[in-house]
Amino acid sequence: MNKTLLFLTVLVIATCGLIYELIVGTLASYLLGDSITQFSTVIGGYLFAMGIGSYLSRFVERGVAQRFVEIELAVALVGGLCAPMLFLTFTLTSVFPVVLYGSVLVIGTLVGLEIPLLLRILQDQLKFKDLVSQVLTFDYLGALAASVAFPLLLVPKLGLVRTSLLFGLLNAGVGLWSTWLLAPVLANPVRLRVKAVALCAGLLVCFALGDRLTTFYEDQLYADDVVHATSSPYQRIIVTRGKRGFSLFLNGNLQFASIDEYRYHESLVHPAMVRAQKVEHVLILGGGDGLAAREVLKYPEVKSVTLVDLDPAITGLAMNYPELAALNHHSMTHPKMRVINTDAMQFLAEGANAWDVVIVDFPDPNNFALGKLYTTGFYKILKKRLAPGGVAVIQSTSPLFARRSFWCVETTLKAAGFWTQPYHALVPSFGEWGYVLVAQEPASRHRALPEGLAFLDEDTLEGLTRFSPDMSPLPAEVNRLNNQVLVHYYEEEWRRWN
């Protein structure tokens, strides 16, 4: 037997073993948040499992070489597929931790079996002191190679999914080449060889598809730690925390970042509030985070705020998640507040109330279902529900990133018969953001801004309606239920920035 090749085998095995550990640890902290706990439990669990493997190795009595190759193939399969599998189960909130720690145990145990078995295969070839010295040297060398390559080369170049598959392939390769290397001590090398080749082929196919898998999965990754993750029937809800506070993501789209959300919400709410004839009864459509409601409640004349959001998971989070409840000043549980989880268009169409102010804070029109909420069909219903002298405001995506989309919303509102006042504000987390204020008749000022706003004062308020040339009006078609042009504009424009 070629000893150099055997030591090379040790090197590869060791690298693979550490890579799987790093992958699972990284995924755990990406997806579950709290990286210190996740890393320490994953590493601890993995080492413990390796201990189990080492212990179990004593029960392998005969056919040690045969077992070794089989274990290589098993590690290749489980380790190679660990990242895609974990991403896949991530959306199933309840089973994800089970799958995560399950794979830590299985991979750790299998990896723990490798070195003891290899030592026994080599025990007749070398003196004990040389054997231990050389095997462990290559083992630790492999660990160094893995820990350097992982953050510097593998994750940036390949991503987690393909890294995992690549090292699965290497492991399977070790299995394959061991069938020749250990041929003298193997009972049936050909059968093992066939298995190894089949496994290599399978992993290669996955690797080739890995590019698509990666873009799909890594959309779910966030720069900061995930501190809360749930799935409702409507969307995936993620809260992350980083140096600059916390952020809410719905289906991977940023809803707000606590550091600058005041800019967005002050700009959304106050221009409408100060121009409405009365502000007694306010309706918020969308805005389930309660942050727009916080701004509305700064006016003592407000008698009722009705918030309609489709998803009870989001309004529940805004009520009960301590940091979010603190950020929205407990607006969701305010006595003037009424929270209704239903379909906004249906609520407006079936209701009979006349609202003094309506704040329309829907997600951007990135699909046909949301696109409906930006059509003349919706705005005509909105117009009927606005009290005389009432004002509504519509968050209208970015006039910079999606310029035609923004002006399409404005054009559509005009086509629905509204007087419109488009404006925008800079929200660093989002970029330049646009709104359209609408009313039955041109709306003038009726009240002062509340005290203590962080972003808006009289001067700033005035400046919001000025558009620089790169955001100035573009001709756009009217968005109707039967053309949904906005969804097409939006998709085309945002694709250029992403």
Partner 1 sequence: MELTRRELVAAFLGASVASACTRQAARAPVPGAIVDRAVDTGHKLRTGPLPRAQDFERVDVLIVGAGVAGLSAAWRLSAAGVKDVRVVELEAEAGGTSRSGRNAVSAFPWGAHYLPSPLEDRGPVMRLLRQMDAVTGVDAEGHPSFAEELLIQEPDERVFYRGHWYEGLYLRAGASPEDLAELERFDARMNAFAAARDAKGRKAFAVPGALSSDDAEWTALDALSMARWMEAEGFRSPRLRWFVDYACRDDYGTTAEHVSAWAGIWYFAARQNGKGERSDGFLSWPEGNGRLVRQLASSLGPRQLETQVLVHTVEPGEDGCRVHALDARTGAPRAFHARQVVLACPRFVAAHVVAPWREARPAWMDAFVYSPWVVANLTVSAPPASRGFPLAWDNVFYESRSLGYVVATHQSLRQDARGPTVLTWYLPMAGADVKAERNQALSATYGDWEALVMADLLPAHPGVGALAQRLEVQRWGHAMVRPQPGFLWGEARRAAQQSLGRHLHFAHTDLGGMALFEEANWFGVQAAERALAGMGLKSASWL
In the list 211, 301, 343, 457, the residue contacting partner 1 (rule: CB under 8 A) is 343
With respect to partner 1, which residue has the nearer C-beta, 291 or 373? 373
Structure tokens at 59: 């029960």
Shortest distance (Å) from residue 200 CB to partner 1 = 28
Q: Rounded to whole angstroms, how far apart are CA atoms 297 and 301?
A: 9
Q: Tokens 């995506």 identify what position?
A: 397
Q: Rounded to whole angstroms, how far apart are CA atoms 48 and 41?
A: 10
Does residue 335 bind partner 1 (CB under 8 A)? no
The residues, ordered by sequence, that sit 6+ positions from 100 with a Cβ below 8 Å of its Cβ are: 24, 27, 28, 32, 42, 86
Q: What is the dihedral of CA 344, 347, 348, 349, to 10 degrees?
A: 120
Does residue 234 bind partner 1 (CB under 8 A)? yes
Q: Is 124 a known active-site residue?
A: no
Q: Rounded to whole angstroms, how far apart are CA atoms 44 and 63?
A: 31
Structure tokens at 310: 């489709």
The interface mask with partner 1, positions 139-168, x = CB under 8 A, is ------------------------------
Q: Rounded to whole angstroms, how far apart are CA atoms 330 and 245?
A: 18
With respect to partner 1, which residue has the nearer C-beta, 236 or 380? 380
Does residue 288 bind partner 1 (CB under 8 A)? no
Contact region for partner 1 (CB under 8 A) — 23-31, 252-260, 405-413, 482-490? 482-490
Shortest distance (Å) from residue 117 CB to partner 1 = 42
Shortest distance (Å) from residue 485 CB to partner 1 = 9
The interface mask with partner 1, positions 348-377, x = CB under 8 A, is -x-----------------xxxxxxx-xxx
Residue 434: strand, helix, or coil: strand
Give, as one character, the DSSP assignment of residue 228: E
Amino acid at 242: G
With respect to partner 1, which residue has the nearer C-beta, 280 or 311? 311
In the list 228, 330, 334, 480, the residue contacting partner 1 (rule: CB under 8 A) is 480
Intra-chain end-to-end CA distance of the chain, in Å: 54
Report, in angstroms and rounded to the nearest whole number, the Rg of the chain calculated over CA atoms: 30
Element (H, E) at 465: none
Structure tokens at 179: 């069938």
Q: Rounded to whole angstroms, how far apart are CA atoms 447 and 357?
A: 14
The interface mask with partner 1, positions 439-478, x = CB under 8 A, is ----------------------------------------
Q: Are 351 and 358 in contact (CB under 8 A)?
A: no
In the list 131, 204, 345, 426, the residue contacting partner 1 (rule: CB under 8 A) is 345
Does residue 232 bind partner 1 (CB under 8 A)? no
CB atoms within 10 A of CB 232: 15
Contact region for partner 1 (CB under 8 A) — 33-41, 312-320, 337-345, 463-471? 337-345
Q: Rounded to whole angstroms, how far apart are CA atoms 362 and 364?
A: 6
With respect to partner 1, which residue has the nearer C-beta, 334 or 380? 380
From 361, 457, 459, 470, the catalytic residue: 361
With respect to partner 1, which residue has the nearer C-beta, 232 or 277? 232
Q: Rounded to whole angstroms, how far apart are CA atoms 455 and 477?
A: 33
Structure tokens at 215: 């873009």
Does residue 88 bind partner 1 (CB under 8 A)? no
With respect to partner 1, which residue has the nearer C-beta, 373 or 436? 373
Q: Catalytic site residues?
A: 361
State the residues that interact with partner 1 by CB under 8 A.
233-234, 310, 343-346, 349, 367-373, 375-378, 380-381, 480-484, 487
